[in-house]
Structure 1
Amino acid sequence: MEFSHNDNNNLPLTKFESMLKTNHVLFFDSEEFENIIHHYLNQGKIALAKKAIKLGLDQHPSSINLKLFNVEIYVFEDKLEKADNLLNELHILDPLNEEIYIQKANILSKKDEHLKAIEVLKEALKLTDDVVDLYSLIGMEYLFLDQFEDAKTYFMKCLEQDIDDYSALYNVIYCFEFLNQNENAISYLNVFLDKNPYCEVAWHQLGKQYAILKKYKKALAAYDFAIISDDTFVGAYLERGKVLEKLKRYDDAIENYSISLQLDEPTSFALLRIGNCYEKLKNNDLAVQYYYKTVHEDPLLDKGWIAITKFYIRKKNYNKALYYINKAINIDTENVHYWKCYALINQRLKLYEEAERGYKKALELGNYELNTWLYRGDLLIKLGDPQAAIYNFEQAIEFYPDNAEIEFRLAGLYLTLNQNDKGAFYLKNGLKHNEEFNFIIEELFPEVSNKILVKNLLKLNL
């Protein structure tokens, strides 16, 4: 029995807490102690649970259930050897107690001995008719082992015993998805819904499977049934809105997102999606209003700030875009796309040093796309730092060997520094790999293009 301070069944709990305040020891039967301990464990009040266990065992020293709570505390405190020793003692006293097996499996699981834990749980299955929790525990152990087929089997067994076990249903679908068995998931859910046609969770999951397969009309139908089953199901409205966006039905998507906001506390996700829909409908005033509502609701949501940034980039208002990209970067400093966006904005504002810094940061974070190397190198050339530009392009050529765009740039840089041998080497390579990019020399290094060496090499290639 779970106690609450607001119900009429809390007399033992009130009595126990009164006893703690007065130090006057009162008697409780073992079942009352079990309920008190269970209450404290559920509340996360471990110190009070330990006091209740001690007092309980003082009054009922032979109670196996109270000793099992002691095992639970040992496991929680990571005192696994103590827990194991106590379980071995209890197993001698009561070898048919399935809870002893469950706790034994819990310890094995904590030690990452998941196969042994499964063996113990299967032994426990022989000792009880209440198998649902055991099936679920076995399923979880198989998940720890990444054995998704076996995990799926046991979660399905849970649902065969208890069709309302939504946790097991979610886990079954998780296994299907991990195995990329979306069609199988759909078949399973349809059979499940034949038995339980008003299960909003199953309809919702069916809609998600259809959406993954881009069967959007079927997804919408599934979400409709989820809403018919429970017209306050926020998740169904949100998912329905996402599908309607895919179908470019932006007004309908807005309607669904708006319903979700009425049913529950406003979510930054729904506000962001509404803003996006309004932007697609060319209603810029409402779009930006909802983007601002998004970041007001969740100031730490970097996606909200980046949405505002991109909005202002599209409007060519780069000063505002720069302000908001800095907000996004302050929240997520490791996001490559934000740094590239930062670089682009600064480039448009002719703030070349900051733009170069943005591309450099993107490279440091592992973004080795060709354009990132080229944009950064060209900025270094513009900033008058040829040595840094050479170092940048020499790193780039390790990732993109025989790339003419890089080779023509290196040719121009070395020739600018009068290192003619290296310049000629890269110029010949560039011409060999793709002569169409020879305009790079004239565009980026006009003073070099007039050199006799360059003119002769270009003529030879005509």
Structure 2
Amino acid sequence: MHLDHDEEDYNLSLAKFESMLKTNKVLFFDSEEFEEIILHYLDIGKANLAKKALKLGLEQHPKSTGLKLVQVEMLVYEDKLDQAEKLLNELYAIEPTNEEIFIQKANIYSKRDHHEKAVELLQTALLYTEDYADVYNLIGMEYLFMDNLELAKENFIKCLEEDFEDQSALYNVVYCFEFLDQNLEAIEYLKTYIDRNPYSEIAWHQSGRLYYGVKDYENAVRAFEFATYIDDEFIGAYLEKGKSLERLKRYEEAIESYNRTIELDDPTSYALLRIGKCHEKLGNKAEALKFFNKTVHEDPLLDKGWIAITDFYVRQKNYQKALFYVNKALAIDDQNRLYWKRFASINKAMKLFEEAEFGYRKAVEFGDYQLDTWLFWVDMMQNMGEYNNAILTLMQASEYFPEEAEVEYRMAGLHLMLNETEKGNFHLNNALRLNSKHQTVLEELFPMVWERPSVQEYIAKHTKPE
């Protein structure tokens, strides 16, 4: 009831101030009202109205320390740090034990990237403040700026000991634990936090995320469930619960969880995609396809949606349909390497080598430097009889994979196909040194070369008996 009354007074003050601006009548406000009005306008980004309120406030209350501290905030907001510091020094001479002066001084040092000095000032503020939580939170932030995650974590924990409902500090504690790769310690910390604050849906949700991170999916599901019991409209928790249930192969329950997010809000492409994936795992092919189509309808730019449909048809060996969908995807984004690789693979499966070669070339052009992409690309060139281009491409690939037997066997085969015996033997020697068991690459891709007695003699001579 008290809070509602305060809120009402606050809204009345704002309405009264805005009415005064419209009528040009000067009305009286106490200094705290002015402070709230100014901070309100700063929060919503209306700096001009904040300045007007500050000017009027200081005219009516020229000695108000509170208003002068708000003036400091405004000067800092405008990056007028020297003026802000000068005003703070004047205020310090009047009120040397006002913690807000130290907090604002720390803010200025922080803005100047002097974070250690900012921490010193905040430590002094702790001697005078009644709001320990806020100061510990600020110290934690300074340590974050200094990349000292251990001390940042320590201070965010102190903040939560003073005010366990500070959600930003809770998120920051978990962030520090995760950054320090201390997921199990974070889980233990959250257990103690939940003992104090069992109805914190944020804590349960973060706990679920951490359990998921360490692959404890049973406990992850349990934690996300608690988060949804506390807040039955917590979309993020339903999504994460669905992911965890998928990991446990409980696909029908996962679908229920994803469906709940769709009931609560507009369907997201992510939820639709996951429902489709679950239906596919359950063997409900028609339902899976329906949801994959809904995914790309909802978000045509989501590559995972197009990939899901394309891969669905590839698994059915329906290459014509797969090609139809990957072409639709490429019409939307023709610089997506994942699309080009699939375009290439489908054409390869259909023995359309020129199209496949083009697809692999595009995939590499747009940043796919995976070994198999290079090798498939080269194999397509070989099938087309483009041996010299294939060699040039392998030379590019060897920059990324300098000691790769698969590359060397292909280099050997191509050079020997061109009757460049010295170069062929050089690469064959490299290949045998790197992995003699992969001779089958030469046998499968270059049978004519493999059958040459000179090649068999070379392999026998350069293969050490086991």
TM-score, normalised to structure 2, is: 0.85
Where do 5+ consecutive residues of structure 2 fail to align?
Answer: 461-466
Moved more, 51-60 or 359-368: 359-368
Query: Aligned partners of 2:69 and 2:330: how far apart in 1?
Result: 50
CA distances 1:226-259 after superposition (whole Å, capped 9, x unpaired): 3333333333322222221111111111112212
Instruction: Name the counterpart of 1:126.
Output: 127
Give the direction of change, closer, same or farther, for the CA distance of 1:75–1:431 in structure 2 (3 Å limit): same
Contact 1:303 1:328 in 2 (8 A): no
User: What secondary structure is seen at the aligned counterpart in 1 of 2:103?
Assistant: helix
Give the direction of change, closer, same or farther, for the CA distance of 1:66–1:298 in structure 2 (3 Å limit): farther
Matched, 1:142 2:143: yes
Query: Aligned partners of 1:356 and 1:191: how far apart in 2?
Result: 58
Q: CA deviation at 1:381?
A: 2.8
Query: Aligned partners of 1:150 and 1:369: how far apart in 2?
Result: 40
Moved more, 113-122 or 318-327: 318-327
Write the letter of the residue equivalent to 1:263: L
Contact 2:276 2:289 in 1 (8 A): yes
Contact 1:275 1:291 in 2 (8 A): yes
Q: How does 1:288-437 map to 2 (within 5 A)?
A: 288-325=289-326, 336-350=337-351, 352-364=353-365, 367-401=368-402, 403-430=404-431
Instruction: Name the counterpart of 1:205.
Output: 206
Contact 2:449 2:455 in 1 (8 A): no
Query: Aligned partners of 2:165 and 2:453: how far apart in 1?
Result: 80
Contact 1:405 1:430 in 2 (8 A): yes
Q: CA deviation at 1:372?
A: 2.1
Q: CA deviation at 1:277?
A: 0.6
Query: Aligned partners of 1:323 and 1:81: how far apart in 2?
Result: 64
Paired residues in the alignment total 458
Contact 1:404 1:430 in 2 (8 A): yes
Instruction: Name the counterpart of 2:248.
Output: 247
Query: Aligned partners of 1:395 and 1:15: how far apart in 2?
Result: 72
Query: Aligned partners of 1:333 and 1:392: how far apart in 2?
Result: 22
Instruction: Name the counterpart of 2:186.
Output: 185
Contact 1:428 1:457 in 2 (8 A): no
Contact 1:2 1:38 in 2 (8 A): no
Q: CA deviation at 1:324?
A: 4.2
Contact 2:450 2:456 in 1 (8 A): no
Where do 5+ consecutive residues of structure 1 fail to align?
Answer: none
Contact 1:302 1:327 in 2 (8 A): no
Q: CA deviation at 1:383?
A: 4.1
Give the direction of change, closer, same or farther, for the CA distance of 1:426–1:284 in structure 2 (3 Å limit): same
Give the direction of change, closer, same or farther, for the CA distance of 1:384–1:157 in structure 2 (3 Å limit): same
CA distances 1:195-218 after superposition (whole Å, capped 9, x unpaired): 233333323333333333333333
Q: CA deviation at 1:23?
A: 4.5
User: What secondary structure is seen at the aligned counterpart in 2 of 1:305?
Assistant: helix
Instruction: Name the counterpart of 2:464.
Output: none
Moved more, 121-130 or 393-402: 393-402
User: What secondary structure is seen at the aligned counterpart in 1 of 2:389?
Assistant: helix
CA distances 1:21-57 after superposition (whole Å, capped 9, x unpaired): 4555544443332222122112122222223223333
Write the letter of the residue equivalent to 2:235: V
Instruction: Name the counterpart of 1:154.
Output: 155
| Aligned residues with identical type, % of pairs | 57
Instruction: Name the counterpart of 2:197.
Output: 196
Contact 1:2 1:35 in 2 (8 A): no
Instruction: Name the counterpart of 1:223.
Output: 224
Query: Aligned partners of 1:8 and 1:301: how far apart in 2?
Result: 48
Instruction: Name the counterpart of 1:99.
Output: 100
Contact 1:272 1:294 in 2 (8 A): yes
Instruction: Name the counterpart of 1:277.
Output: 278
Give the direction of change, closer, same or farther, for the CA distance of 1:404–1:197 in structure 2 (3 Å limit): closer
Write the letter of the residue equivalent to 1:374: L
Moved more, 245-254 or 79-88: 79-88
User: What secondary structure is seen at the aligned counterpart in 2 of 1:232?
Assistant: coil
Query: Aligned partners of 1:327 and 1:128: how far apart in 2?
Result: 62
Query: Aligned partners of 1:42 and 1:169: how far apart in 2?
Result: 23
Query: Aligned partners of 1:47 and 1:318: how far apart in 2?
Result: 63
- CA-atom RMSD, angstroms? 3.4
CA distances 1:427-446 after superposition (whole Å, capped 9, x unpaired): 45445655665565676557
Q: CA deviation at 1:355?
A: 3.4
